Amino acid sequence: MMTTNKINYSELASIARKQGVTHHAVCAIILRDEKVLLIKRANTDHRGGEWEIPGGKVEKGEGLKAALAREMREETNLKLSEVKKYVGHSDYKAPKFIFRLFMFDAIADDSEVSLNPAEHTQFLWASLAEARKLLNHDDFTSLFLSYMDSR
């Protein structure tokens, strides 16, 4: 279906819609020197105080890649240079909707991380061992760790 060099973003979104997914989100695994970028949610936010990788909701009419670039920029001030691979997805079901989080291995420019303090309070370039300790243990983290272990 897809190779690591050619990701069909429209097909990913179309398949999700056909499977009853009503909302999309994207997230980026960003590595530097074999460390992954983690950001900590503001305490006042949903899931406040938790560590995560950069990402967020896809806006109406927005494509997955455009959303990934926008979310990386809004949350970290990093620019998307390249998407290396579609890693997979994780679904969250609620009574009135199904949310699909699409995970990508992405390369960012080499600028410094600058957080939006309304959304995130800290960042860390974490080793895989540190990420295992800091991230919640859920389907999303399982997908992330499985991918990182297979690299």
CATH number at residue 37: 3.90.79.10
Assign 41 a pLDDT band (cuts: 50, 70, 90).
very high
Is residue 83 predicted with pLDDT exceeding 80? yes
pLDDT tens sequence across 103-137: 999 999 999 999 999 899 999 999 999 999 999 88
Whether residue 1 lies inside any domain: the answer is no
Give the predicted TM-score (pTM) of the model: 0.93
Q: 3-state DSSP call for residue 140?
A: helix
Whether residue 87 lies inside any domain: the answer is yes
Is residue 3 predicted with pLDDT exceeding 80? no
* Amino acid, res. 151: R
Whether residue 53 lies inside any domain: the answer is yes
Buried-exposed string 112-151: b where 16+ CB fall within 10 A, e elsewhere = ebebeeeebbebbebeeeebeeebeeeebbebbeeebeee
Domain range for 68 is 9-150
Whether residue 133 lies inside any domain: the answer is yes
What is the number of structural domains in the chain?
A: 1
Whether residue 140 lies inside any domain: the answer is yes
